[in-house]
Copies of this chain bind each other. A is one copy, B any other.
Amino acid sequence: MQGVEEQKTLSLTVAYNGAPFCGFARQPGQLTVQGELEHALGLLFRREVATVCAGRTDAGVHARGQVVSFDVSEEELRDRTPRSLLRSLGALTHDAVAVRAVEERPRGFSARFDAVSREYRYFICVDETPPVFMRDFSWHIPKPLDVAAMEQAAAHLIGEHDFKSFCLAASAKDKPTCRNVNEVSFARERVMGENMLVVKVVGNAFLHSMVRTTVGTLAMVGRGQREPDWVCDVLAARDRSAAGENAPAQGLVFWQVNYGE
């Protein structure tokens, strides 16, 4: 078998609390989720392992179901099973990271390019007094929100649009900014006795800070600062300054990725 290098593609499903990290993407000298995962994989496979992720979350943004893919050779895997890898990665990564699953994928699978859609959930605490249990995982808006108006506004975002106004300006420069949004929906949920308005956003892919800008824009409508139809003007402007504020990072959770399975 010598000389024959059969490659395998594996994926990790990863949850993390974004608070301690300078975002997902590896950056020299910074604590990042990718840095943590690649460090652990490096210890296991005794070489640099390059990973690809489904969505690069910003500093402070959390994940429930981030997906990360990488290739290893059969020889490197030896008698390691997905199960034993799961345990080893659990032991080797930061406390704020939990590797939920290790799976073998079809060869060449890419966590990024094979994703059919991505789901984010944004948690707004709508209690009058601040959250205690959800303090690190929500945006507190104590004044009542007009959710019906937010739903009306969100309807304008469904479908394929140029979301340039919803993208961090520096990141939008000379890049395609059309995306397809499948769903923006609202649900009331009690989490540990605290009242949340959960904004679910599903799309094929997202621009830099697009979900947070979407939520910040919809919150302006919910607070009655803008009419629902204003969102059409925001889209048409193709200018970040036309949209609402960036909702705080700590309310956002990269919920799950759909690979069309």
- Residues of A bordering B, CB below 8 Å: 15-17, 62, 64-65, 86, 90, 95-100, 129-133, 135, 137, 191-193, 253, 255
In chain B, what residue has the closest Cβ to A123?
A: B192
In the complex, A97→B131 CA distance in Å?
9
Which residue in B62, B132, B193 is a CB contact (below 8 Å) of A132? B62
Contact yes or no, A192 B253, CB < 8 A: yes
Task: Give the complex CA separation of A130 and B135 in angstroms.
Answer: 20
Whether A132 contacts B192 by the Cβ 8 Å rule is: no
Which residues does chain B contribute within 8 Å of A100, judged by CB atoms?
Answer: 129
Contact for A131 among B62, B98, B132, B192, CB less than 8 A? B98
Q: Which residue of B lies closest to A86 (CB)?
A: B129
Instruction: Evaluate contact between B64 and A129: CB separation under 8 angstroms.
Output: no
**Which B residues are CB-close (under 8 A) to A64?**
132-133, 192-193
Contact: A133 with B99, CB < 8 Å? no
* A90 proximity list for chain B (CB < 8 A): 129-130
CB of A16 within 8 A of CB of B191, answer no
Q: Closest B-chain residue to A96, C-beta based?
A: B132
Contact of A193 among B130, B133, B135, B255 (CB under 8 A): B255
In the assembled complex, the Cα of A95 lies from the Cα of B135 at a distance in Å of 9
Contact A99 B135 (CB under 8 A): no
Known: A86-B129, A98-B130, A100-B129. 15 other contacts (CB 8 A): A15-B129, A16-B132, A62-B133, A64-B133, A90-B129, A90-B130, A95-B135, A96-B132, A96-B135, A98-B131, A99-B129, A133-B137, A191-B192, A192-B253, A193-B255
B192 touches A129 (CB 8 A): no
Q: How far is the CA of A96 from the CA of B131 in the complex (A)?
A: 9
- Which B residues are CB-close (under 8 A) to A192? 64, 137, 191, 253
Residues of B within 8 A of A96 (CB): 132, 135
Bound-state CA distance A16–B15 (Å) is 25
Interface centre among A15, A16, A64, by most chain B C-beta atoms within 10 angstroms, is: A15
Q: Is the CB of B135 within 8 A of A17?
A: yes
Give Cα A113–Cα B139 distance, bound, in whole angstroms. 37
Instruction: Please give, as numbers and ranges, the residues of chain B lying within 8 Å of A65 by CB-CB distance.
Output: 193
Are B17 and A132 in contact (CB-based, < 8 A)? yes
Task: Tell me which residues across on chain B come within 8 A of A132, comparing CB atoms.
Answer: 15-17, 62, 64, 96-98
